[in-house]
Amino acid sequence: MWGEGDTTVWGSQAKFWLTPDVHLAVNMGLSPMQIRQAQAIVNGHLKEIEDAWHRHFGG
């Protein structure tokens, strides 16, 4: 996930809500730039994430 540019994040995390649109719920230690990068990754893989969610939980 953070492989581009060899950026490593240790001990930091973020939580994103996926609906009704992708937006930040919690940020624990990530910089604004890292949050933007993470949100772009989530947006880029949203369909894949949603499909995996539905396979796991049903529906």
Q: What pTM was computed for the model? A: 0.76
Which pLDDT does position 2 carry in this prediction?
A: 47
Which pLDDT does position 56 carry in this prediction?
A: 97
Which pLDDT does position 3 carry in this prediction?
A: 52
Which pLDDT does position 1 carry in this prediction?
A: 46
- Answer whether 25's CB lies under 8 Å from 16's CB: yes
Residue 45 DSSP one-character state: T
Which pLDDT does position 8 carry in this prediction?
A: 61
- Domain locations in the chain? 16-57
**26 vs 56: CA distance, rounded Å:** 23
Give percent of the chain with pLDDT exceeding 70.
Answer: 83
Low-confidence ranges of the chain (pLDDT < 50): 1-2
**Minimal CA–CA distance to 11: which of 34, 27, 28?**
28
